[in-house]
Amino acid sequence: MRLFVYGTLLRGEANHAIVARARFIAEAHTAPMFELLDLGEYPGLVAGGARSIAGEVYEIDPEDIAVVDEFEGHPDLFRREMIALSDGSSAFSYVLARRPAKSVVIVGDSWRTR
């Protein structure tokens, strides 16, 4: 299954080891319908914005997705959902289950350049 990551699971970021067994496909952007929130130590993707968020796409084995689900707090903190990418394809990603009352929107399109 294809998985789009956008924060601490990116190559070179603190939690990349969680997806290190997955096969890197490409750098990618979401379709322009999201916002990226700065939640302190990690970001959160939320639907309803107008930004195209930068990230990476991986091919991950279905049996390995349970590890990522647990790490992301699926379905309570983040929900794994199919999202649209800017190239017209789609991939699963982790979207915040609830937008925090006090949240800071990352102005750019990338967790790395916040």
- Count of the separate structural domains present in the chain: 1
pTM of the model: 0.96
35 given a catalytic annotation = no
In a domain, 20, yes or no: yes
In a domain, 109, yes or no: no
Q: 114 pLDDT exceeds 90?
A: no
pLDDT value at residue 67: 96
- What is the C-alpha separation between 98 and 44, in angstroms, rounded? 10
The whole domain housing 56 covers: 2-103
pLDDT category at 59 given cuts 50, 70, 90 is: very high
By residue count, the chain amounts to 114
In a domain, 114, yes or no: no
In a domain, 108, yes or no: no
In a domain, 41, yes or no: yes
Which tokens in the block code for residue 9?
A: 């699971």
Nearest CA to 96 out of 7, 18, 2, 1 is that of: 7
In a domain, 66, yes or no: yes
In a domain, 45, yes or no: yes
In a domain, 64, yes or no: yes
CATH of the domain at 19: 3.10.490.10
Q: Of 27, 63, 70, 72, which is the active-site residue?
A: 72
